[in-house]
Amino acid sequence: MEQESSKANDPNPPSELVDATQAAPGSDASGHSRRVFLFNVALFLNGIVGTVLAIPIIGYLLGPALRKRSSQNAWIDLGAASDYPEGETRLASFRDPFSVPWDGQTAEVPCWVRRIRGNDFQVFAINCAHLGCPVRWFAQSQLFMCPCHGGVYYADGSRASGPPARGLFEYAHKVVDEKLMILAGKLPTLAAKNCGGPRLTQIQPTAATEASAAIASQKPGDDSWPA
């Protein structure tokens, strides 16, 4: 556009270069069309080679997203169920089931284990449901607090206040041979569809005992990730 409007007095020397290429001397007309055809064939050939080359490269790049769901989580031993006192919430950690040797410290993943009573457990991901920061448990006030944006959760993982849109992420768990096992491996984020919505009901502040009884009667693993 600028070329057209200012052809007469374009201040820019490069426009002369453009003109020069346009005015390239024409070649031998008879051989020309054949060479153009061969060049087009060569372009087409390169297009095919390029496509064949690109497909596996794209596959390589998308690899992590194409993993099977079954290879994103695995059952992990969190130790003897009796290590977790009833009525308490303890920090535990497990080794990332898909760790590589150069993971270093990042292969150890923390989580919060709440033993309600007997074999009733809840295992929460460390990551705040808002933006993934590590939540901390305060036994005295029975709250999880997040240091980043102030998300707060109740003992059962349900949202108490702050920016999170839902309760804490929970791992599916089972007790096998007196050992607590959880299904973990994938970083819990809002995108993981099976994390479920905030289904845990917020505790209504009635008498403390009633509420905790209500939690205890909840089916554990309700909000957890299916295998």
Residue numbers 16-75 binding another protein by CB under 8 A: 61-62, 64-65, 67, 72-73
Q: Is 77 in the site for another protein (CB under 8 A)?
A: no
Residue 150 CB, nearest approach to another protein (Å)? 5
x/- map, 121-160, another protein, by CB under 8 A: -----xx--xxxxxxx-x-xxxx-xxxxxx-x-xx----x
Residue 97 CA neighbour count, 13 Å, CB half: 16
DSSP class of 134: B
Shortest spacing between CB 19 and another protein, in angstroms: 15
Interface with another protein, residue 203, by CB under 8 A: yes
| CA 141 from centroid of its chain's CA atoms | 31
Inter-residue contact 127 to 188 (CB < 8 Å): yes
- For 41-62, b/e burial (b = at least 16 CB within 10 A) is eeeeeeeeeeeeeeeeeeeeee
Task: Check residue 99 for interaction with another protein (CB under 8 A).
Answer: yes
Distance of closest approach, residue 40 Cβ to another protein, in angstroms = 28
Q: How far apart are CA 167 and CA 153, in angstroms?
A: 7
CB nearer another protein, residue 131 or residue 175: 131
Residue 2 makes contact with another protein by CB under 8 A: yes
Stretch that binds another protein, among 19-27, 50-58, 174-182, 185-193 (CB under 8 A): 185-193
Q: Judge contact between 129 and 165, C-beta under 8 A.
A: yes
CB of 90 to another protein, least distance (A): 13
Counting residues that bind another protein (by CB under 8 A) gives 78
Q: Which residue has the tokens 């898909």?
A: 98
Give the β-pairing of 88-95 and 152-154: unpaired
CB of 197 to another protein, least distance (A): 13
Of the pair 143, 175, the CB lying nearest another protein is at 143
Read off φ and ψ for residue 94, nearest 5 degrees. -135, 160
